[in-house]
Amino acid sequence: MFIQLFSNYLVGQSVLTIEQRDSFQEEIQKTRVKLGTIAVADGLLTEAQAEEINHQQTQQDRRFGDIAVELGYLTDEQITELLGKQGNIAMKFFQLLTDNLDISLDTITEHLAAFQKVHGFTEAEIEALKKDDFDSIIPLFATVRDPAITDLAGLVMRNLTRFVNNNFYFGRMKKASDYSYSMLAGQKSLGDSFVYLGFGATNELDGIIRLAKDYARTVTISNSDEVYDAVCEFANLNNGLFASVLSDDDISIDMVPPEVYLNQRLSGSAYYMPVYFNDSEFDLIISTDPAFKPGDKPHTLNLKKTTLNTDTSSTLPTVLVVDDSALIRKILIQLLSENGFNIVGEATNGAEGVELYKDLEPDYVTLDITMPVMDGVEALKQIKEYDPEARVAMVSAAGQKDKLMDALKNGAELFFTKPFNSQEVITGLKSF
């Protein structure tokens, strides 16, 4: 965050060129090693332990070090030592300026003071920026009264760092009183508390496309609807983690299927915060107003299914994958196909999944919980009614504790939380 903001300021002052800015930021990212990687290299953690901690982060929105200490894998002293080895990113950037542009530290300090004055940052705020401490940074950029909005914004920024790309910065949050967009993908959470979380673009989609592709990582995204679908899944991930925090306070949350809207406008009270990947941008949209509407008419996604193996002579265990997200279906199909399973069908909602189960009678079913037309719990009931011996693994974002309990009561014997731990999925299905 600090590097992106300060380097852009230096570009504006003609101290850096855009090419130099991008080159320096890329070099900084290469040296920004994760704590888990350092701990494994130092023999403090095994790769399995580091992966376990990383996976727990996807479910709990907590720092790597806090989870490692709670599990008894590392001590507070070891975490402090690892943070020291991770290095001071701001100082690395200053070193690049002095080594490559022959700028003295005194001159850098003068530019930093001017940057601080332009933004009105205090010394404490500058130090928080240098450490990328989002808990301290978010209140600087999101001065709203509703703590749920700032808490959710902070969670999204942490998850951008964890699951998307840490080379970004964000602008000040503003009230979206007259927000028109070219594209908006997001999700509502209903129940004891209303929350809407979405990602939008007012004009160009470059930032949205980068968000989608960086989140999808190894899975290819080939058209605009697949971009929208991936952004919906990222919204789902964040909403699930936020719902899990609320459920700890005995607040019941029901997440509804994500939706996409094109070329419309918001109504009701909402806030937006611009997020920048250098020269591309998207907006984070948050509302806690029950009267909020993202638009009037949702866009229908045209998501093609994967070409599957129809070899009936295969002796591999067969799987039916049911999920409304093309991204999740692709991830599961790729993972399972590479690990000894034959994917014989995929369905986009619960009703389609029930019919395909009756036609294909697969050995296993992976069944998303939150889907349009028919949700996963109802689909599970109908599949079990048709075949009491059906082996069904439920798939859910975090924060769906009540629905998972319903699924377990109705015969589900296994469940996975998105984003997946690959080994957990493979081991779980093979032990069925």
Asked if residue 208 belongs to a domain, the reply is yes
Residue 361 sits in a domain whose CATH number is 3.40.50.2300
Number of structural domains (the chain) is: 3
Residue 261 sits in a domain whose CATH number is 3.40.1550.10
- 10 Å CB burial of residue 76 (0-12, 13-18, 19+) is exposed
CA 110, CA 165: separation in Å to the nearest integer? 30
Same domain, 213 and 87: no
With 70 as the cut, is the pLDDT of residue 216 above it?
yes
With 80 as the cut, is the pLDDT of residue 324 above it?
yes
Same domain, 149 and 268: yes
Asked if residue 128 belongs to a domain, the reply is yes
Same domain, 29 and 164: no
Same domain, 278 and 143: yes
Same domain, 85 and 172: no
Same domain, 343 and 389: yes
Could you tell me what percent of the chain has a pLDDT over 90? Answer: 49
- State the pLDDT at residue 311: 63
CA 109, CA 193: separation in Å to the nearest integer? 46
Average pLDDT rounded to a whole number, residues 150-169? 89
pLDDT band at 355 (very low <50, low <70, confident <90, very high): very high
Same domain, 163 and 79: no
- State the pLDDT at residue 227: 96
Mean pLDDT check: name the lowest of 157-171, 176-190, 304-318, 355-369. 304-318
With 80 as the cut, is the pLDDT of residue 13 above it?
yes
Same domain, 164 and 280: yes
User: Which of 107, 132, 157 delimits the end of a domain?
Assistant: 132
The phi, psi pair for 376, rounded to 5°, reads -70, -35
User: Which of 243, 270, 287 delimits the end of a domain?
Assistant: 287
Same domain, 283 and 148: yes
Average pLDDT rounded to a whole number, residues 139-164? 90
Asked if residue 279 belongs to a domain, the reply is yes
Asked if residue 311 belongs to a domain, the reply is no
Asked if residue 179 belongs to a domain, the reply is yes
Which structural domain range is residue 400 located in?
Answer: 318-430
Q: Which helix (H) or strand (E) holds 334?
A: helix 326-337
pLDDT band at 15 (very low <50, low <70, confident <90, very high): very high
Asked if residue 301 belongs to a domain, the reply is no
**Tens-place pLDDT, residues 395-410:** 887 766 677 778 778 8
Average pLDDT rounded to a whole number, residues 103-132? 88
Q: What is the dihedral of CA 356, 359, 361, 366, to 10 degrees?
A: 0
Same domain, 257 and 345: no
Average pLDDT rounded to a whole number, residues 142-152? 90
User: Which of 132, 153, 180 delimits the end of a domain?
Assistant: 132
Strands 392-397 and 414-418: parallel
pLDDT band at 37 (very low <50, low <70, confident <90, very high): confident
Asked if residue 329 belongs to a domain, the reply is yes
Mean pLDDT check: name the lowest of 128-137, 277-286, 332-341, 401-410. 401-410
With 90 as the cut, is the pLDDT of residue 424 above it?
no
Same domain, 404 and 329: yes
Same domain, 128 and 189: no
- State the pLDDT at residue 357: 95
> Hey, what amino acid is at 3?
I
The phi, psi pair for 321, rounded to 5°, reads -105, 120
For 305, the token pair is 């299914």
Asked if residue 388 belongs to a domain, the reply is yes
pTM of the model: 0.83
pLDDT band at 265 (very low <50, low <70, confident <90, very high): very high
- State the pLDDT at residue 73: 94
Q: In the beta sheet, which residues pair with residue 277?
A: 280
Contacts of 387 (CB under 8 A, 6+ apart): 357, 361
Do residues 135 and 154 lie in contact, with contact meaning Cβ atoms separated by under 8 Å? yes
